[in-house]
Each structure stands twice: as C-alpha cells, then as structure tokens.
Amino acid sequence: MPEIANYVLHGAAKITPLTLKKLLHELPMLKLAFTQIHAPQFPHLVNQLTFLADVVEDFAEGEANELPYRVAAESVFALLYAHKRPDLIPDFIPNLGRADDSSVVRSVLITHERHFQAYAEKHRMDWRAITDKA
C-alpha cells in the first residue's frame, strides 16, 4: 500500500482551495453517483466514499475546522479519483474495476484514521461500519 499512499500524497498536493470549492458544488451529484456503484467485492466502498464526501463538505463549510488541510485534500483527491474516467483500472472490468478506487479510498482512511475516527464520533457515525471492522 505504500505506493498507493505515495500516489495519493502526490495527487493531493495538487488540490487547491479552488479545487475544493469546485468539488463542493459537485458533491450532491457525486454522492448520488456513488450510490449507484455496484461492486460486491468492495462492499464498504459506497459508505466510505459517502463518508469522505461528508468530511469534505463539512470542511469546506467550516464545520470540521479541527481537520488538517492535508486530510481534506487527500479526501478530495480520493473522491475525484473514484469519479475519474478513465482511471488505472477501468470500472467496467468485472471483479476488478473498483479495486483501484477502493485502494485509494482505503489509503486515505488508513493514513488519517485518528482524524476520521474523531470526526465520526463527533457526528455520531459508526466508524467500524465505515472501515469494515464491524
């Protein structure tokens, strides 16, 4: 996973406040698109993407000021990556199409687990259900 973490870090370094602002306008559409993901091999992906979208939305609106900008930037990168066409593994490939999306999302969640767990607790979310540790 270190390669994925480095990929995320490199991609997140390109996220600017303007990128965040543009994504904020697209979040309702992205959240809806994420609910349409059918990836039985990655059963927590939809919940994880929705969680990251909520984090980004709260950060952009000043409701998650306790989060470092890096956490928000990597979350934005993960959301954009999951929606990106084409990506490293095309989403239409059976059984593998969402593996890269899941890897990017999981990398962000693992890297910033302490911050995300505190955010989830603050918002009365079940962190274990998001991370698949339930």
Angle between helix axes 69-83 and 45-60 (nearest 10 degrees) is: 130
> Tens-digit pLDDT profile for the chain (134 aa)?
589 999 999 999 999 999 999 999 999 999 999 999 988 899 999 999 999 999 999 999 999 999 999 999 999 999 999 998 677 777 777 778 899 999 999 999 999 999 999 999 999 999 999 987 54
* Chain center to CA of 20: 13
Cα 24 from Cα 65, distance rounded (Å) = 16
To the question of pTM greater than 0.85 for the whole model, the response is: yes
Q: Residue 92 has what pLDDT? A: 73
Question: Which pLDDT score is estimated for 133?
Answer: 54
The whole domain housing 121 covers 2-131
Contact 62, 5 (CB under 8 A): no
Q: Residue 56: its pLDDT value, please?
A: 97
Dist. CA 41–CA 63, nearest whole Å:
33
pLDDT at 134: 42
* Residue 123 structure tokens: 């918002």
